[in-house]
Amino acid sequence: MSNKKIFILLPDGIGLRNFSFTNFHKIGADKGFDITFWNTTFFDLNELGIKEVKIENARSHPMTVFLKNALIQVELNQNIKKSKDPIYNYYRFPFSYNSVKAAFKSGFTEWVVFWHNSKKGLATLRKKIALQERKTKLYFDSLETLKAEKPALVFCTNQRITTAVASILAAQDLGIPTATFIFSWDNLPKGTKIVETDFYFVWSDHMKKELQYYYPYIEENQILVTGTPQFETHFETELLESKATFFETHKLDLAKKYICFSGDDVTTSPNDEQYLEDVANAVTELNKKGYNLGIIFRRCPVDFSDRYDSVLKKYDDIIVSVNPKWEKKGEAWNAILPTREDLVLQMNTIFHSELVINLGSSMAFDYAAFRKPCGFINYDVPNSKNPDWSVKKIYNFIHFRSMPTKDSVFWLNNAEEMVPKIEKMLSAEASVIVDNAKKWFEVINQHPPQLASERIWEAMATICEK
């Protein structure tokens, strides 16, 4: 392999977390790769000693957003037709008609869906997206960059970002191999694979089967099972702080044991503040029984709302906020970026807490990596202000069907059973559930999880040698 120059296309902050803040870059450099991050984000990778080429003001063609939205709707329609399963309807975001502009966008998208609502229509939409993106300044700028740099491979860290399409097309038009990473365990059923590449890097054999099911035109030899770097930091034991240091830094009580409440965004869990209060009430009751517990509240990194404030104030003797260390680099929503410090903070939060409670997130796997239990909230709030939302929709999503057994987490089916369930989570009974969670983790992510970056670089080397 004479050319070992790899371009890592970084279209958003998720890629930063997985590929810039882990040891991914160091491992590749140690293997002799010449690595350049093709960086669309606001983050300056030079601060980390990583070579970068900036993509300034990356913009898709104005038509692409309509075509992308239509593509997602048609994919979901085809998934329903193929599987006879209406759950795919729950992945849709409703069309808006509350203004003239919104009505035009929604109406036009629905018109595009009507005329492309078939397998053949999906292929046509993909071609139309490529046609529009080849007209953009981003495409021509990408051509010039790639002609000058001559990488052996362009690897995109996220399969769903439209601003990545033009750069990938430019590479393909120059004969440069391309690959993309399916960045989350729940992405493929949603119909959000916008980037079309020569190779696809997936978390597990389970995800490989999903990719083949939803995109049968992708050949088996195009799919590489590597795992995700997302969990690698958990195994870097040198990053662990002492209990005294962690507790002092975050103003925790050394005499207490802490459970973690991991918050969700307002769309996923609009009643999250009530769930936090229910957990606080349960801890109050447990403390009356002789336990000495507190709650670490880790909010969703992109939730800056005040919806938890009254609960945090009411239970300030029990709940301590340990907020994620994400940074706001600009005013746009995608300018809120993770940091390396937050990976370390999350790891130490897990290590220094006994268990986690939340609504159906991948934190179950983060805690399984530390052999600690997770409790999934599984009830609707009475008299909710969000009557159209229900946990039944959440846990019917396709990715939860990957559980080898439902007893991979503790199910918190109502507020009243919080107390006995938390007691079980703190007892030796939790070991069986944790063992099941570990098996679920093995289904979701290639093991050993700490070697994901190694496997990714090995796969890249194989591609470059072809």
Q: Please state the three-class secondary structure of 262-329 as a single string.
A: ECCCCCCCCCHHHHHHHHHHHHHHHHHCCCCEEEEEECCCCCCCCCCHHHHHHCCCCEEECCCCCEEC
**Token digits for 259?**
């459970």
The pLDDT mean for the chain works out to: 95
Q: What is the DSSP string of 425-452?
A: HTSTTHHHHHHHHHHHHHHHS-SSGGGH
- CA quadruple 78, 81, 85, 87: dihedral positive or negative? positive
Cβ(59)–Cβ(89) below 8 Å: no
Beta bridge partners of 5: 34
pLDDT interval class at 1 (50, 70, 90):
low
Cβ(364)–Cβ(374) below 8 Å: yes
Q: Degrees (nearest 5) of the Cα angle 48, 54, 57?
A: 130
In whole angstroms, give the CA distance from residue 410 to residue 288.
23
Q: Which residue is it, tokens 């991914």? A: 24
- CATH homologous superfamily of 233-444: Glycogen Phosphorylase B; (3.40.50.2000)
How confident is the model at residue 302, as a pLDDT? 83
How confident is the model at residue 388, as a pLDDT? 82
Closest by alpha carbon to 281, among 269, 293, 266, 298?
Answer: 293
Beta bridge partners of 53: 38
Residue 206's H or E segment, with its range, is helix 205-214
pLDDT > 90 in the chain, percent: 88
In whole angstroms, give the CA distance from residue 223 to residue 287.
51
Domain 5-60+136-228+449-465: CATH class, spelled out: alpha beta
Over 80: is that where the pLDDT of 333 sits? no
Beta bridge partners of 319: 295
* pTM to 2 decimal places: 0.96
Q: Can you give the residue ranges of every domain in the chain?
A: 5-60+136-228+449-465, 63-124, 233-444
Distance spanning both ends of the chain, measured CA to CA: 9
**HSE toward the beta carbon, residue 457, CA cutoff 13 A:** 20
User: Which phi and psi angles does 365 have, rounded to 5°?
Assistant: -80, -35
pLDDT interval class at 42 (50, 70, 90):
confident
**How far apart, in Å, are the Cα atoms of 2 and each of 152, 458, 465?**
9, 15, 9
Mean pLDDT within 191-220: 97
**pLDDT tens-digit series, residues 357-386:** 999 999 999 999 999 999 999 999 988 888
| Strands, E assignment, 182-292 | 199-202, 223-225, 257-262
Domains 5-60+136-228+449-465 and 233-444 share a fold: yes
